[in-house]
Amino acid sequence: MEDIMNFIDLRSDTITQPTDEMRMAMFNAKVGDDIYDEDETMKKLEKTAAQLVNKEAAIFVPSGTMGNQLSIMTHTKKGDEVIASDCSHVLQAEVGAASVISSVTVRSAGTQNGVIKFEDIKNLVRGKNIHFPDTGLICIENATSEGTLMTIDQMKDIYKYALGLEIPVHLDGARIFNAAIALNIDVSDIASNADSVMFCLSKGLCGPVGSILAGCSTFIEKAKRNRKMLGGGLRQSGFLAAAGLIALNKMTKRLAEDHENAKILAKGLSEINGIQVDISKVQIDMVFANINKTNKSQKEIVKELLIRGIKANDGREGDFIRFVTNNDVKKEEIYKVIKAVKEIIN
């Protein structure tokens, strides 16, 4: 634990430690067997979560990946085709689960600034033809996996079009609270443009484990059975729900601080010779620094940062290093990171 706390860790907004308040709430949580419908804390979390996004019901899942996959499984039938963006989490980072769990194929739409293109969706939706699979679902993201935002108008266009064709829309809102703050709108206004929404308690909000899938009551009822099938029927899960309630009621309110720190970091890095940051794409808590005009590789820079007690993400292909601001990194540490990168590059 000492080790974790001493690093300035900007690899992701998932690395945060649960707050002291969360730890106390978990310790004191009233729990029961959730499969018997007896966990009061879990019920409270699911009710709170559904109300926040103005959906009829919600279900807790252990991860964002399970939430997205559970949604695909619940919306679609075997053989359907799902449309998702070519850089979406569903397509790129969920181990091809949709084909294994739901027996569906995923067809990729292009993106602009990380946002799925409406024109591409329209071109990819299938008509009725004996040769074609049915388009069973459209998956969108807000905020996107690239840390950018979809406007409400962009969401409305897609949802209106999908409603007309009776194709359901699932929103991967892993960082929906970041999106709401950055767009300066209520989170329910974002969620109203999709039939189902998944959001994470453990990204930026310091929850130790868990995500939420919300939608209409019949959808969530079906999802509950499917979650059981995936081995996700949970027992005394109220311990996690207790932290999740603090994530939703309190930690959502401080995300603007992470966004401000990301902007400071982006500006500072962009002023270093050889580093390029597209500041217009720094819209929530993520900063992508292109280092290809420096004399060092991505791996070398990340290694040298680590020696200086700073963790950054070199998991991406190409020349980008990703930095994600979070609750465990304070503003003064952001300036230390800029100084360290400057030293390494110059």
What does the binding site for ligand PLP look like in residue numbers (CB under 6 A)?
Answer: 63-65, 68, 89, 141, 145, 172, 174, 200, 211
Query: What gap in Å lies between CA 271 and CA 281, rounded to an integer?
Result: 16
The dihedral region occupied by 243, where left means phi > 0, alpha psi between -120 and 50, and beta the remainder, is alpha
Q: Which residue is nearest to ligand PLP (CB)?
A: 64
Nearest CA to 80 out of 130, 125, 136 is that of: 136
Nearer to ligand PLP, 65 or 326 (CB): 65
Query: What gap in Å lies between CA 161 and CA 193, rounded to an integer?
Result: 11
DSSP letter at 302? H
Nearest CA to 205 out of 241, 175, 247 is that of: 247
Nearer to ligand PLP, 65 or 294 (CB): 65
Nearer to ligand PLP, 81 or 172 (CB): 172
Distance of closest approach, residue 174 Cβ to ligand PLP, in angstroms: 3
Distance of closest approach, residue 64 Cβ to ligand PLP, in angstroms: 2
Nearer to ligand PLP, 200 or 266 (CB): 200
Nearer to ligand PLP, 68 or 298 (CB): 68
Place of tokens 């998932």: 14
Nearer to ligand PLP, 65 or 148 (CB): 65
Distance of closest approach, residue 248 Cβ to ligand PLP, in angstroms: 16
Nearest CA to 141 out of 74, 84, 183, 100 is that of: 84
Distance of closest approach, residue 53 Cβ to ligand PLP, in angstroms: 16
Q: How far is CA 180 from the centre of its chain?
A: 13
Distance of closest approach, residue 342 Cβ to ligand PLP, in angstroms: 29
DSSP letter string, 184-245: TS-HHHHHTTSSEEEEESSSSS--SS-EEEEE-HHHHHHHHHHHHHTT---SSTHHHHHHHH
